[in-house]
Amino acid sequence: MKNKIILLIKAFLSVLPLTAKSQLNGIKGTVVSRIGRAPVQGAKVTLKADKERIVVTSQKGEFEITDIPLGTYQMIVEAADFQTLNLSVKVENYLKDLNFITLVSEFVVEKADEFSLSEFDTESASDVQSMPVLLSASKDVFENIAGYKFGEVRFRNR
């Protein structure tokens, strides 16, 4: 009976470190770009509090920071050709998954729709004047309707 109790205590003590290790507190996530959700490799993730913890994302854009004391931290994500992202993160008694952290490209790409008037669209001066004006900037009541331009001729003064 005594041997069974000692064996049971040893088994319990040997399992205790495994259960303590499974309760990691920290954060993990994946850093992706806004365009196409492509993973950002080599992004620097900094967790600031009393001291800094810095990790670099993997080839898949994943990172994990564990064994962090509970509390609220400032997280900074930096990568080449992307704008720096600042987040406030609360670390609790478990490994918090932040899922996708989206970075915006530093270079703004603007695509304008091509618009051109062919010669046959405006063959005469009257054709140009009869083209509808969209959302004119005038504060005139007659010109405030989108898609059609009213004139004073249509209204009779009383």
pLDDT tens digits, one per residue of 120-156? 555 565 555 555 554 445 555 555 555 555 555 555 6
What digits encode the pLDDT tens for the residues 8-32? 677 667 765 555 555 588 999 999 9
DSSP state of 3: H
d(CA 84, CA 147): 42
pLDDT at position 129, please? 56
- Alpha helix ranges (H) inside the chain: 2-22, 125-129
What digits encode the pLDDT tens for the residues 30-85? 999 988 889 999 999 999 977 889 999 999 999 999 988 999 999 999 999 999 99
* CATH classification for the domain delimited by 23-103, as one of 3.40.50.720, 2.60.40.10, 2.120.10.10, 3.40.50.300: 2.60.40.10
pLDDT at position 135, please? 47
Break the chain into its structural domains and give their ranges.
23-103
